[in-house]
Amino acid sequence: MPRNPTIARTVPVLRRTVDGFRARKATIALVPTMGALHDGHVSLVRLAQRRAKRVIVSIFVNPTQFAPTEDFGSYPRTWKEDIAKLAAEKVDVVWHPDVKTMYPDGFATRIVPEGPAVAGLEDRFRPHFFGGVATVVGKLFTQCRPDVAIFGEKDFQQLRVVTQMARDLDLGVRVIGSRTVRERDGLAMSSRNVYLSAEERRVAPELYRAMKETAARVRAGDDLSAAQAGGAEIIKAAGFALDYFETRHAETLAPVTSIKDGPLRILVAAKLGTTRLIDNMAV
């Protein structure tokens, strides 16, 4: 039976709810989202339920992580469907502040992450992004005061950035990464997949194939840069405009030259038409 979550829209309501959980000694997991929920998000919620007694899902399309040229205005917003999915999962609380609640007039404090946030991957193409993410996630952590927070591995650099931030700022939150959920043909689930035309959707799994082939070649002992160049070729031949296709150290995101520098992670970002897709895979 579905069970409607409590919807908190203001900080005092959220605080009272969290205080109630804490008074009953319940552990709390937070799943930060921007809504437009799909099965990947549902898997984050299920992992959260295994890790804590109470689950809060935040739904907030965060303007500060979008550049003016990006899709903040058109980002899919599917509130009714999202709440139905969260009710089916028996989530306890949905934290749904509006922009003025998150960034009141006069807001003047930001978190500026370094380390994995300046690794030369997403930050090279979206220089505004990790500052916006770190600031909003820092606020979500202090508002919800969770014991654990669950983030998808699909946004791998983001996962590394928030893990580092929680550690550096002693936020008392354990950040847990959750495996990427894929469509049957390998395409990583993403709220932005709805932007793909039928033809682009057919081509999109080539990203997955390129990573799989590259990972297999590296594991088999092929030269890393030759294997990487082969993967990049698959992506370009499929019609993508490639931003990057790189293999990095899975923890630090530092550049690597051989499998011996591991553990390794392949990370990719590429545009199909106007839709930018990102993905990654362990080697």
* Residues with catalytic roles: 41
Between 152 and 231, name the residue whose CB sits nearer to ligand PAF.
152
**Segment interacting with ligand PAF (CB under 6 A) among 73-81, 129-137, 201-209, 237-245:** 129-137
Between 137 and 259, name the residue whose CB sits nearer to ligand PAF.
137
Q: Helical H runs in the chain?
A: 11-23, 39-51, 79-88, 99-102, 122-125, 129-144, 156-168, 198-203, 206-219, 224-237
Matching residue, tokens 């109630």: 20
Kindly tell me which residue out of 52, 55, 133, 210 binds ligand PAF, with binding defined by CB under 6 A: 133
Tell me how far, at minimum, the Cβ of 158 lies from ligand PAF, in Å: 6
**Distance of alpha carbon 221 from alpha carbon 234, whole angstroms:** 20
Kindly tell me which residue out of 17, 62, 135, 193 binds ligand PAF, with binding defined by CB under 6 A: 62
161 near ligand PAF, rule: CB under 6 A:
no
15 φ/ψ sector (left φ>0, alpha ψ -120 to 50, else beta): alpha
Tell me how far, at minimum, the Cβ of 44 lies from ligand PAF, in Å: 10
Q: Name the nearest CA neighbour of 150 among 14, 70, 47.
A: 47
Q: Which residues contact 92 (CB under 8 A, 6 or more apart)?
A: 5, 6, 21, 54, 55, 56
Kindly tell me which residue out of 30, 111, 136, 150 binds ligand PAF, with binding defined by CB under 6 A: 136
Tell me how far, at minimum, the Cβ of 12 lies from ligand PAF, in Å: 22
Matching residue, tokens 């490639």: 242
Contact footprint for ligand PAF (CB under 6 A)? 32-34, 62, 65, 133, 136-137, 155, 158
